Amino acid sequence: MLKHILLGFLNYRPMTGYELKSIMDESTMHFWHAYHSQIYTTLRKLEDEGLVTSEMELGDDKLNRRTYTITEAGRADLREWLNTPLHEVVPVKEDLLVRMFFSGERDKQAVIDELRVQRLLHQRTLAEYRNLTEETMLEIIPEDKERAVQHLPFWESTLRFGIQYEELYLQWIDETIRILEEQG
């Protein structure tokens, strides 16, 4: 999956690994994240496969920045991936629910405390998502406004999902705490 995410971004414009990591931390964190280690190794793999090329910046400073550019083969690979629709539901994995499922013999107050911590964290996450404006998104392609505008509804739809998901999460936590306290 990361492979296609990187190709997707490089299809907008050439970027460095560091830039890809920063942009993902802002724009895809609500549905996919990756550590820098994986991004750098995956970029090298893409280069081996001829889907991207890279070159070291020859600037006046000694900061080593390697800029990756998508190749025609890379664009073809991305297009082919996009033209192959998902035909299954990718199963959810939710650590907190695993813990809840097996919490029947735990101290009830400890469970409620854990839910409250999660509530705070998810509230923070939701605030971060709500903070993402159109401008944040447009920075992905700063020099091609028209193209960015074309992509905007798609970017926004994923963000809408992220926000609604976090809202659901908070509601679920509240309702669960209420139920646990009531039977208390």
**Minimum CB separation from DNA for residue 180, in Å?**
27
Measured between its terminal Cα atoms, the distance across the chain in Å is 45
**Which listed residue (12, 40, 165, 172) binds DNA by CB under 7 A?**
40
Q: Tokens representing 37? A: 């280690």
Question: Residue 55 belongs to what H/E stretch?
Answer: strand 52-56
**Which listed residue (31, 41, 113, 117) binds DNA by CB under 7 A?**
41
Comparison of 44 and 137: residue with beta carbon closer to its own copies: 137
Comparison of 53 and 137: residue with beta carbon closer to its own copies: 137
**Minimum CB separation from its own copies for residue 84, in Å?**
9
- Using CB under 7 A as the binding rule, whether residue 22 contacts DNA is answered as yes
- Total length of the chain: 184
17 contact choice in its own copies, DNA, none (CB below 5 to 8 Å, kind-dependent)? DNA
> Burial letters for 31-53: b for 16+ Cβ neighbours within 10 Å, e otherwise?
eeebeeeebbebbeebbeeebbe
Question: Residue 181 belongs to what H/E stretch?
Answer: helix 145-183
Cα 105-165-177 angle, rounded to 5 deg? 30
Separation CA 79–CA 51 (nearest Å): 12
- Site residues, its own copies (CB under 8 A): 1, 4-5, 8, 11, 27-33, 78, 82-83, 85-106, 110, 113-114, 117-118, 121-122, 125, 147, 150-155, 157-158, 160-162, 164-165, 168, 171-172, 175-176, 179-180, 183
